[in-house]
């Protein structure tokens, strides 16, 4: 049975635990967080030495996992057995675990974690027998809400501009974002609000020289600012390929936004389709209106040519990107 992260935590907080869990998916930060929460709620610190086993699929046989799960807790109500990277267990081991899930020990909480849910009859049966949660990678437009929620638990707010800057620096990895947010919390001390200046101090990026400012300058056809920001980014060691990738994404959004507006889609529908936060729609629209459809088609061609030059030609990356900006901002 599939469940939500929230429902799992609510049930554990009430002291209710099922004998079998399967957590899988690409976002291992969420999985690790769930495992840590379960352990903290299911057994006390004093009980961990004798009643907590963390086993790794790449190092252990299925028979050892089953025997560990069948063992009785020592001077405690239950034992907790965590299997990490279960997708690395061989087929015979998975078959043994599947048999165990048909009749699990009532005094053991067995948690199976995996980067991906395996294929085959045994894995399908394991999923059927377990309480299951899939930790999917969050889309770009879901990251701002995750950041706000993460900070809200600590009664701290953050501006939308600061979120954009933080996401541009740390990417969409929740583990990286969590690390940067911890730094921000330490940096602001007793303050309860985070702004762009706070993010700049922590992540070491000037607002003048980040990829979002570059994309905005180019989208607004401001060549002078665009070249200035580009040169400073390259001096700071930013990857030319990474810069180009973000420019490609930016112009894809501009083109798609115009297409969706012609279909009279609502702003919230556009944000969902483009996987961006609704807050940024107005800025993208302002930039998109500076381009005719034919100009955007030409922009895509220029971006493709720049990509080919970066990968195959002997031209200096700096020159390739400078020429690209000149073409993209031409009226």
- 10 Å CB burial of residue 255 (0-12, 13-18, 19+) is middle
Q: Which residues of 145-165 are buried (b: 16+ CB within 10 A; e: fewer)?
A: ebbeebbeeeebebeeebbbb
Query: Which ranges in 193-277 belong to alpha helices (H)?
Result: 196-203, 211-219, 223-235, 240-262, 267-274
Query: 99, 134, 169: which is the final residue of a domain?
Result: 134
Considering the domain architecture, whether residues 312 and 247 belong to the same structural domain is answered as yes
E strands in the chain = 20-24, 52-56, 79-84, 108-114, 131-134, 157-158, 193-194
Considering the domain architecture, whether residues 170 and 229 belong to the same structural domain is answered as no
CA of 318: how far to CAs of 217, 220, 231, in Å? Answer: 17, 21, 8
Considering the domain architecture, whether residues 158 and 279 belong to the same structural domain is answered as no
- Answer for the pair 194, 156: CB distance below 8 angstroms, yes or no: yes
CATH (domain of 50) = 3.40.50.300
CATH (domain of 145) = 1.10.8.60
pLDDT digits (tens, 9 = 90+) for 266-297: 878 888 888 777 777 888 888 888 888 888 88
Structure tokens belonging to residue 143: 């990251």
Ranges of residues in the chain whose predicted pLDDT is under 70: 169, 204-209, 331
For residue 204, is it left (φ>0), alpha (ψ between -120 and 50) or beta? left
Residue range of the domain that includes 300: 208-329
Considering the domain architecture, whether residues 12 and 119 belong to the same structural domain is answered as yes
What's the predicted TM-score (pTM) here? 0.61
CA of 182: how far to CAs of 76, 77, 321, in Å? Answer: 34, 35, 35
Nearest to 134 by CA among 58, 25, 49, 285: 25
Query: 205, 226, 251: which is the final residue of a domain?
Result: 205
Considering the domain architecture, whether residues 188 and 129 belong to the same structural domain is answered as no
pLDDT, residue 26, reads 85
Considering the domain architecture, whether residues 255 and 160 belong to the same structural domain is answered as no
Considering the domain architecture, whether residues 90 and 161 belong to the same structural domain is answered as no
CA of 307: how far to CAs of 188, 228, 237, 239, in Å? Answer: 40, 21, 19, 13
Rounded to the nearest 5 degrees, what angle is found at the Cα of 236, between the Cα atoms of 233 and 241? 55
pLDDT, residue 331, reads 61
Query: 171, 188, 205: which is the final residue of a domain?
Result: 205
Considering the domain architecture, whether residues 221 and 295 belong to the same structural domain is answered as yes
Considering the domain architecture, whether residues 167 and 215 belong to the same structural domain is answered as no
Considering the domain architecture, whether residues 48 and 154 belong to the same structural domain is answered as no
pLDDT digits (tens, 9 = 90+) for 79-94: 999 999 898 888 899 9
Q: What is the number of structural domains in the chain? A: 3
Terminal C-alpha separation, the chain? 57
Going edge to edge, which strands form the sheet with 20-24?
52-56, 79-84, 108-114, 20-24, 131-134
Considering the domain architecture, whether residues 72 and 183 belong to the same structural domain is answered as no
Torsion of CA 321, 323, 329, 330, to 10 degrees: -170
Considering the domain architecture, whether residues 181 and 68 belong to the same structural domain is answered as no
CATH (domain of 222) = 1.20.272.10
């Amino acid at each position: 049975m599939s469940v939500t992260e929230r429902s799992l935590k609510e049930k554990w907080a009430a002291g209710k635990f099922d004998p079998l869990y399967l957590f899988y998916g690409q976002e291992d930060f969420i999985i690790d967080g769930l495992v840590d929460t379960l352990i903290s709620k299911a057994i006390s610190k004093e009980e961990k030495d004798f009643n907590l086993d963390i086993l790794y699929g790449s190092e252990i046989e299925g028979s050892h996992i089953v025997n560990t799960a069948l063992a009785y807790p020592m001077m405690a109500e239950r034992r907790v057995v965590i299997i990490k990277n279960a997708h690395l267990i061989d087929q015979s081991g998975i078959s043994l675990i599947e048999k165990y899930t048909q009749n699990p020990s009532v005094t053991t909480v067995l948690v199976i974690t995996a980067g991906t849910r395996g294929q085959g009859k045994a894995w399908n049966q394991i999923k059927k027998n377990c309480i299951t949660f899939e930790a999917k990678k969050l889309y770009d437009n879901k990251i701002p809400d995750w950041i706000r929620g993460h900070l809200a638990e600590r009664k701290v707010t953050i501006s939308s501009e600061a979120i954009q800057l933080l996401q541009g620096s740390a990417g969409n990895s929740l583990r990286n974002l969590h690390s940067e947010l911890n730094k921000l919390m330490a940096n602001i001390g007793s303050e309860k609000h985070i702004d762009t200046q706070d993010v700049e101090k922590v992540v070491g990026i000037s607002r003048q020289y980040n990829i979002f400012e570059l994309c905005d300058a180019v989208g607004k056809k401001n060549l002078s600012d665009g070249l200035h920001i580009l040169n400073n980014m390259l001096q700071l060691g930013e990857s030319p390929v990474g810069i180009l990738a973000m420019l490609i994404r930016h112009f894809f959004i501009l083109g798609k936004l115009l297409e969706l507006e012609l279909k009279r889609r609502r702003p919230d529908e556009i944000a969902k389709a483009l996987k961006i936060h609704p807050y940024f729609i107005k800025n993208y629209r302002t930039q998109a209106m500076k381009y005719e459809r034919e100009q955007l088609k030409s922009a895509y061609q220029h971006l493709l040519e720049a990509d080919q030059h970066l990968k195959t030609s002997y031209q200096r990356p700096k020159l390739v990107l400078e020429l690209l900006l000149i073409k993209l901002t031409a009226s």
